[in-house]
Amino acid sequence: MNAKKQFLLFLVPLMLTACQNSNSVNDSSVNKSSLLRDSELRSMTAYEILPKLKSGEVSVSDYMDVLLAQTLKYDDALKAFITIDPQAVREQAKAADEKRKSGVALGPLFGIPVSLKDLISTKDLATSFGTKKFSGFRPNKNAPLVDHLLAADAILFGKNNAQEWAYGSNGYNAHYGQQLNPYDLSRIAGGSSGGGVAAVASRMLPIAIGSDTAASIRVPAAYTGLYGLRPTTGRYDNSGVAPLAPTLDTVGPMTRSVEDLAIIDSVLSEDFSDLPMIDLSGLRLGIPKAFFHAGVSTEMLAAFESLLRKLRKAGVVLVEHDLAKAQELNDAGLYPILFYESYPSIAEFLETWGDGTSVAELYAELGPDIKAMWGQLVMPGAPDAISAEVYDAAINQARPAMQESYRSYFEKHNVSALLFPATASEAPLAMPDNPQQTIIDGETVSIFINDHNSSPGALAGQPGIVMPLALNAQGLPLAISLDGKSGQDRELMAVAKAIDQLIDPLPAPAIAQ
Which string of DSSP letters, residue by residue, matches 21-80? HHSS-STT-B-TTSS-BHHHHHH--HHHHHHHHHHTSS-HHHHHHHHHHHHHHHHHHHT-
Q: What is the DSSP secondary-structure string of 149-187?
A: HHHTT-EEEEEE--SGGG--SS---TTT---EETTEEEE
Position 137 confidence tier, pLDDT thresholds 50, 70, 90: very high
| C-beta separation of 186 from 210 below 8 A | no
The residues pairing with 253 across neighbouring beta strands, listed in sequence order, are 209
pLDDT digits (tens, 9 = 90+) for 285-320: 999 999 999 999 999 999 999 999 999 999 999 999
* Neighbouring C-beta atoms of residue 19, cutoff 10 Å: 12
**3-state SS record for 387-436:** CHHHHHHHHHHHHHHHHHHHHHHHHHHCCCEEEEECCCCCCCECCCCCCC
pLDDT digits (tens, 9 = 90+) for 436-454: 999 999 999 999 999 999 9
Active site residue 128: no
pLDDT at site 513: 86
What average pLDDT does the segment 235-250 reach?
A: 98
**What's the gap between Cα 445 and its chain centre?**
24
Residue 424 phi/psi, 5-degree rounding, is -75, -25
Give residues with Cβ within 8 angstroms of 407, minimum separation 6: 486
* Cα 495-259-205 angle, rounded to 5 deg: 140
Position 16 confidence tier, pLDDT thresholds 50, 70, 90: very low
What is the residue-averaged pLDDT of the chain? 94
**What's the gap between Cα 300 and its chain centre?**
21
pLDDT at site 4: 52
Active site residue 412: no
| C-beta separation of 251 from 218 below 8 A | no
Annotated catalytic residue within 121, 135, 192, 257: 192
pLDDT digits (tens, 9 = 90+) for 22-45: 322 334 466 766 678 999 999 999
Q: Mark 44-65 as b/e (b = at least 16 C-beta within 10 Å).
A: bbbbbbbebbbeeebbbbbbbb
Q: 227 in helix, strand or coil? A: strand
**Model confidence at 362: pLDDT above 80:** yes
Residues in the chain: 513
Percent of the chain with pLDDT over 90: 93
Q: Give the Cα separation of 113 and 501 in Å (integer).
A: 26
Active site residue 486: no
Q: Give the Cα separation of 105 and 107 in Å (integer).
A: 7
pLDDT at site 457: 98
pLDDT digits (tens, 9 = 90+) for 255-269: 999 999 999 999 999
What average pLDDT does the segment 386-409 reach?
A: 98
Per DSSP, 476 falls in state -
pTM of the entire predicted model: 0.94
Pick the range with the lowest mean pLDDT from 29-33, 246-250, 345-349: 29-33
Annotated catalytic residue within 33, 61, 79, 117: 117
Annotated catalytic residue within 216, 257, 405, 481: 216
**Model confidence at 15: pLDDT above 60:** no
Give residues with Cβ within 8 angstroms of 186, minimum separation 6: 180, 429, 430, 431
